[in-house]
Structure 1
């Protein structure tokens, strides 16, 4: 039996993929605990989950509207991820003292997990819930890469081991990436221990009040059924887009029906008339719905995209910020999506994009089905649990090997950080 500690930020899309992994590890007889926002962890992973609470930002992830590109990247790291790491570090130390984990699995953006693990001499793996940073998006922006390296170096001086220099976003012990090579193309990976396991698909706590009879009341329309969602973190930005989407669906009439997710109730507050072929809900059981729809319109959030492709469904993608433009480009390049401009698309263009992906002759459905087959073959949460067991087996005597770990890290991590500045990917040998 091995004790695994999962470290997560207070972001639903970063917690959900690990719920299935945690359940799989528990089912294999291991002990699993979490460190993060305890209330959120209990809501997503279950009330009986062992969760160690960490301090969190008082206002969550709040940022100026309209912030995009390098400015948005800088803001996200300087104003959220790094302050979050400073806040979480004491709680992670306390969780280690209480739970005594053999291995830590830490989210790529909960970097306190990596830095505290290296200081405490505990082997750790990275959970990468987006494909965007695996392809080194800063390769063409060396000044931004150098800025991030300096920011993370200062953070390491406060909560980690100042003698180490490895990039805390990519553990040299292993990276569990919930994506597939088909989306990444031939881009080099951060190191040879990146495991592409595809999306983590498993049952989640649902919304028992969803009116399934609305979908069952009559045969599906000629073109099909569409799910429209902008995710859980974009309620503040989606009013105009959702209005255009409802207008587009209204014009398509009885040829298409749609479930539109509106957690901020923006359509209601704007008194947007909802046509009979559209159902608006604040929350939906997304995985269950994906089994009943024919296409998805979304913001190119990585989890939603990969869950949709896992089901073999094409997409219309309207990326807003962060990693979403990169993910949208990857899916469009793979032939499984039509990309539209979130801030400028109107009902006419959006309706045309929906018609295109629903048209079997366009090839988008065939491309999505091919991606779905590859994702399912990658193994998801089952494969992730297997890789974590292998890591634990290789490092069962962590404390005895702590000096060796430090030597390997010191030898390889300088090259890893230099790669962030140059866009190259170094060889990182397996820690012993």
Structure 2
């Protein structure tokens, strides 16, 4: 049996696929441990999980949403979040690895500290990549800037390592990179970072905590829409939610489940249910369409259920994922910051009444459902662990 250490950032959307993978590995008898920020993610792990906390006193790492968008938001994401988190986490993950002595590490693509620790200690590791956008090259200027930031981080953490041993993108594993997406969504506009990839499709289902939901609220004589902006962007502001609620208020044969702050409940019309959290996978089985931020997990889960969507990207990789879904014919675009009630009504009507959207969503859904997901990821992890021990 293999000893496997997971190293993840404090983002629930990055934890969920690993919970599904971990469920497969646990069922096969492998020994698992988690290096995570327990303040944010600890409650989502199985009760008996072995955990090495990455919390550093009161300096709990959180995502600060920048006011800028596009490539500038990517730069700020590195400067204000990913790189500081790496500096803080390096000694803690190293201590976890020395204590647990894993055969293999599974490191989230954004948890660069895990990959550097694995390299320093000579541990085989795989990268977990939750979005197809992460493997695409950006602009040459931004790619060079990211490489420079990583070079500095490698020099500070491993000053005795020869400069020739440093790599431009240490966040990509030389062993294998687990991409929880399908190549059909990638498109051809951007080149990929050169690395060994396994395209697995989404890893969903097992391992997620149960969430209560009033299923009786959904009426059989209505069409149902899920409205979600993910776990990070949902509290950015409430205007978008308010516009969507106003648009749906005039649609008596439509019901919407809106995942957002409970404070919105007082403004919600009778055909909109506001919930802080929802059992998204189960809920999608009852939906006819989705309005979302183009987060990769949500896009894949939506398509797996043959559902068309409206994408309103906000930041980071979301514009790229949104464009992939639109180019694939399964999504319509909506401007997050400036959408009007009239435009929202028109777009929602098109979402629910354009057969071609459903056709293309079903086409992609068929590919996604055939993908190996968590089972395939677990098989790759065990294979790498066995190879490392041989």
Shorter-chain TM range is over 0.9
Find 1:267's aligned residue among 243, 258, 264: 264
1:416 corresponds in structure 2 to none
1:183 corresponds in structure 2 to 185
TM-score between the two structures when normalised by the length of structure 2: 0.94
Encode CA deviations 1:74-115: one digit per residue, 9 max, x unaligned.
111011101101111111111111110011110000000001
Secondary structure of residue in 2 paired with 1:395: helix
Q: Tell me the distance in 2 between the aligned counterparts of 1:46 and 1:40.
A: 14
Whether 2:375 is the aligned partner of 1:373: answer: no
Residues 220, 379 of structure 1: alpha-carbon distance in 2 compared, 3 angstrom cutoff:
farther
Secondary structure of residue in 2 paired with 1:244: helix
Secondary structure of residue in 1 paired with 2:232: coil
Q: Tell me the distance in 2 between the aligned counterparts of 1:59 and 1:90.
A: 15
Structure 1 stretches of 5 or more lacking a match? 398-432
1:420 corresponds in structure 2 to none
Q: Give the drift of 1:188.
A: 4.9
Q: Tell me the distance in 2 between the aligned counterparts of 1:267 and 1:110.
A: 34
Whether 2:382 is the aligned partner of 1:389: answer: yes
Asked whether the equivalents of residues 39 and 55 of structure 2 are also in contact (C-alpha less than 8 Å), the reply is: no
Find 2:155's aligned residue among 157, 163, 185: 157
Q: Tell me the distance in 1 between the aligned counterparts of 2:39 and 2:33.
A: 14
Whether 2:197 is the aligned partner of 1:197: answer: no
Q: Tell me the distance in 2 between the aligned counterparts of 1:181 and 1:196.
A: 7
Q: Give the drift of 1:349.
A: 1.3
Asked whether the equivalents of residues 124 and 173 of structure 1 are also in contact (C-alpha less than 8 Å), the reply is: yes
Q: Give the drift of 1:237.
A: 2.1
Q: Tell me the distance in 1 between the aligned counterparts of 2:19 and 2:39.
A: 14
Whether 2:334 is the aligned partner of 1:340: answer: yes
Secondary structure of residue in 2 paired with 1:233: helix
1:174 corresponds in structure 2 to 176
Secondary structure of residue in 2 paired with 1:236: coil
How many equivalent residue pairs?
A: 382
Matches within 5 A, 1:205-284: 205-208=209-212, 210-215=213-218, 218-221=219-222, 224-252=223-251, 254-263=252-261, 265=262, 267-268=264-265, 272=267, 274-284=268-278
1:289 corresponds in structure 2 to 283
Find 1:144's aligned residue among 139, 142, 145: 142
Find 1:307's aligned residue among 301, 305, 312: 301
Secondary structure of residue in 2 paired with 1:85: helix
Q: Tell me the distance in 2 between the aligned counterparts of 1:83 and 1:220.
A: 51
TM-score between the two structures when normalised by the length of structure 1: 0.85
Secondary structure of residue in 1 paired with 2:310: strand
Encode CA deviations 1:2-35: one digit per residue, 9 max, x unaligned.
1111100011111111001011111112111110
Q: Tell me the distance in 2 between the aligned counterparts of 1:158 and 1:279.
A: 50
Find 2:62's aligned residue among 38, 41, 60: 60
Asked whether the equivalents of residues 118 and 160 of structure 1 are also in contact (C-alpha less than 8 Å), the reply is: no
Structure 2 stretches of 5 or more lacking a match? none
Asked whether the equivalents of residues 296 and 314 of structure 1 are also in contact (C-alpha less than 8 Å), the reply is: yes
Q: Give the drift of 1:220.
A: 3.1
Secondary structure of residue in 1 paired with 2:202: coil
Secondary structure of residue in 1 paired with 2:47: coil
Residues 360, 63 of structure 1: alpha-carbon distance in 2 compared, 3 angstrom cutoff:
closer
Q: Give the drift of 1:159.
A: 2.2
Q: Tell me the distance in 1 between the aligned counterparts of 2:142 and 2:61.
A: 26
Secondary structure of residue in 2 paired with 1:195: strand
1:357 corresponds in structure 2 to 351
Q: Give the drift of 1:61.
A: 1.1
Encode CA deviations 1:184-220: one digit per residue, 9 max, x unaligned.
1346543452011001111421222x211101xx423
Residues 200, 31 of structure 1: alpha-carbon distance in 2 compared, 3 angstrom cutoff:
same
Secondary structure of residue in 2 paired with 1:101: coil
Encode CA deviations 1:280-339: one digit per residue, 9 max, x unaligned.
112211111111111110111111111111111111000000110000000011111001
Asked whether the equivalents of residues 314 and 336 of structure 1 are also in contact (C-alpha less than 8 Å), the reply is: yes
Q: Tell me the distance in 2 between the aligned counterparts of 1:42 and 1:366.
A: 40
1:429 corresponds in structure 2 to none
Q: Tell me the distance in 1 between the aligned counterparts of 2:113 and 2:348.
A: 42
Asked whether the equivalents of residues 298 and 318 of structure 1 are also in contact (C-alpha less than 8 Å), the reply is: yes
Whether 2:25 is the aligned partner of 1:25: answer: yes
Q: Tell me the distance in 1 between the aligned counterparts of 2:88 and 2:166.
A: 21
Q: Tell me the distance in 1 between the aligned counterparts of 2:375 and 2:40.
A: 23
